[in-house]
């Protein structure tokens, strides 16, 4: 793609990076076939290629985000399926993140849109406030779930019974069982530990059972993905720096073999810290070291190898590949191989490359499109007749569970169960405890 940035514009490192990305695009249109919004809407402006043209025009002319651009950028899920499809290696993620930041800084939104975005950006990364919000939501839920639009979508996604804090929550060290094979930090996260604390508990049990000393570092918190993908650069970079500082203390102290992330949306962002902080001389080198150590939990377990398993009931597990894992991190086979090694019959739905509609806060900001994508995904999942659905991202779990009675659990919960842990809570009523082989 030809670009026409001035020398003065190219002096801006972000514009120079956008220019490199834009020039890689050859207009082939392969991305349109795998873009969820283009598949649903059939509008070129709601395809990656169309958005690239809109972003190019906006950046080249140094103009504010206008009403003919903002809706199409907002409707992008950042699922990154286009990056998997693209034969030219266009780094769409960095381009659309830059565009979102420009929209946030220069675009004009309705007051209710700004208010909802501000509310989500404030509440979701703060576990204590989020828990209080869930308590309020549980009281208002019966009425709230009947409301139309975004407000009703928010209430329908809230869990009916919010869990309290896990007794394992907070900075600490979990010793390895037996000989120590690795020393790893676990990103405890923010929204996930409120919505489903059992995921972190299962992760710790699984890792320590396989010889990992697990550290939850003091000062580490929200990864920054949520506000980053809303275009709010300042808080996103502040959260990234806080995590880098926390993990560097561990790296320079007792050392770390990996930084384990069990929410794939967070993992994609942590692996990108080196890029996000590349122009900050104080943080760039440390951020790059942290990104180099970041691993999804399935990567770590694939490297360690699954230990002895226990006898489980025969069970078909349909694996839902989270976009941030299969497209963002290019991890596709490890979770399925681990589930199969654990003794489960693993199935995959048709159209596995298409997003379920969660996409961070997308299901709250674009509820109609998100629901259409969810229902399409669940129809494909139902065709596999699963006893349980497994995935590696809390956003996908919440999104899918809102539309099905089939239990939706995190992959680590099944791996933990298969190697001697408790039955995942969502499966407890329908299965018996496994017996040792």
C-alpha triplet 197, 364, 63: angle, nearest 5°: 125
Q: Rounded mean pLDDT of the chain? A: 92
Report domain extents, the chain: 7-106, 117-157, 172-301, 309-430
Plot region of 170 (φ>0 → left; ψ -120 to 50 → alpha; else → beta) = left
Whole-prediction pTM? 0.92
May I ask the CATH architecture of the domain 172-301? 3-Layer(aba) Sandwich (3.40)
Give the largest Cα separation in the chain, rounded. Answer: 69
Return d(Cα 244, Cα 257) in angstroms, integer: 15
**Tell me: the pLDDT tens digits for 74-86?**
999 999 999 999 9
**Tell me: the pLDDT tens digits for 338-377?**
999 999 999 999 999 999 999 999 999 999 999 999 999 9
- Which residues, at least 6 apart from 332, have a Cβ–Cβ distance to it below 8 Å? 321, 325, 326
- In the structure, what pLDDT confidence band is assigned to residue 141 with cuts at 50, 70 and 90? low
- In the structure, what pLDDT confidence band is assigned to residue 136 with cuts at 50, 70 and 90? confident
Of all residues in the chain, what percent carry a pLDDT higher than 70? 94
C-alpha triplet 176, 177, 180: angle, nearest 5°: 50
Q: Find the range with the poorest average confidence among 155-169, 257-271, 279-293.
A: 155-169
Q: Does domain 7-106 have CATH number 1.10.1060.10?
A: yes
Question: Which pLDDT score is estimated for 130?
Answer: 85
- Look at 159 and 124; give whichever has higher pLDDT: 124
- Which residues, at least 6 apart from 305, have a Cβ–Cβ distance to it below 8 Å? 210
β-bridge pairing 316-319 and 294-296:
unpaired
**Tell me: the pLDDT tens digits for 172-227?**
999 999 999 999 999 999 999 999 999 999 999 999 999 999 999 999 999 999 99
C-alpha triplet 355, 356, 360: angle, nearest 5°: 85
Question: Which pLDDT score is estimated for 150?
Answer: 73
Question: Which pLDDT score is estimated for 204?
Answer: 98
What H or E segment, with its residue span, contains residue 394? helix 394-401
* pLDDT above 50 for 433: no
- Asked if domains 7-106 and 172-301 share a fold, the reply is no
Return d(Cα 398, Cα 390) in angstroms, integer: 12
May I ask the CATH architecture of the domain 309-430? 3-Layer(aba) Sandwich (3.40)
């Amino acid at each position: 793609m030809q670009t026409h940035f001035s020398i003065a514009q190219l002096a801006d490192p972000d514009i120079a990076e956008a220019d490199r990305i834009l020039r890689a695009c050859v207009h082939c249109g392969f991305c349109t076939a795998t873009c969820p919004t283009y598949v649903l809407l059939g509008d070129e402006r709601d395809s990656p290629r169309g958005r690239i043209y809109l972003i190019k025009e906006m950046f080249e002319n140094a103009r504010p985000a206008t009403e003919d651009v903002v809706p199409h950028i907002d409707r992008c899920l950042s699922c990154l399926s286009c990056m998997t499809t693209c034969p030219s290696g266009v780094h769409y993620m960095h381009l659309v993140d830059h565009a979102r930041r420009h929209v946030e800084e220069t675009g004009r939104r309705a007051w209710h849109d700004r208010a909802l975005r501000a509310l989500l950006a404030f509440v979701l990364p703060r576990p204590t406030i989020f828990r209080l919000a869930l308590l309020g939501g549980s009281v208002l839920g019966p009425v709230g779930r009947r409301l139309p639009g975004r407000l009703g979508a928010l209430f329908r996604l809230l869990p009916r019974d919010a869990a309290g804090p896990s007794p394992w929550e907070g900075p600490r060290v979990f010793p390895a069982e037996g000989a120590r094979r690795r020393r790893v930090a676990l990103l405890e996260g923010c929204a996930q530990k409120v919505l489903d604390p059992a995921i972190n508990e299962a992760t710790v049990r699984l890792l320590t059972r396989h010889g990992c000393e697990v550290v939850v570092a003091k000062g580490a918190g929200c990864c920054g993905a949520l506000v980053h993908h809303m275009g709010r650069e300042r808080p996103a970079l502040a959260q990234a720096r806080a995590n880098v500082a926390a993990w560097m203390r561990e790296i320079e102290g007792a050392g770390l073999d990996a930084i384990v992330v069990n929410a794939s949306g967070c993992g994609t962002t942590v692996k990108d810290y080196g890029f996000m902080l590349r122009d900050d001389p104080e943080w760039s080198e440390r951020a790059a070291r942290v990104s180099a150590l970041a691993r999804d939990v399935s990567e770590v377990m694939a490297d360690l190898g699954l230990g002895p398993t226990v006898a489980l009931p025969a069970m078909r597990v349909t694996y839902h590949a989270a976009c941030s894992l299969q497209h963002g991190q290019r991890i596709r086979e490890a979770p399925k191989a681990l589930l199969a090694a654990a003794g489960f019959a693993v199935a995959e739905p048709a159209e596995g490359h298409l997003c379920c509609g969660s996409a961070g806060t997308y299901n709250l900001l674009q509820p109609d499109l998100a629901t259409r994508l969810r229902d399409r995904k669940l129809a494909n999942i139902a065709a596999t007749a699963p006893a349980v659905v497994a995935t590696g991202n809390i956003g996908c779990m919440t999104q899918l569970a809102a539309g099905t009675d089939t239990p939706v659990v995190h992959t680590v919960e099944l791996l933990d169960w298969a190697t001697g842990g408790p039955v995942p809570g969502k499966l407890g009523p329908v299965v018996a405890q496994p017996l040792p082989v």
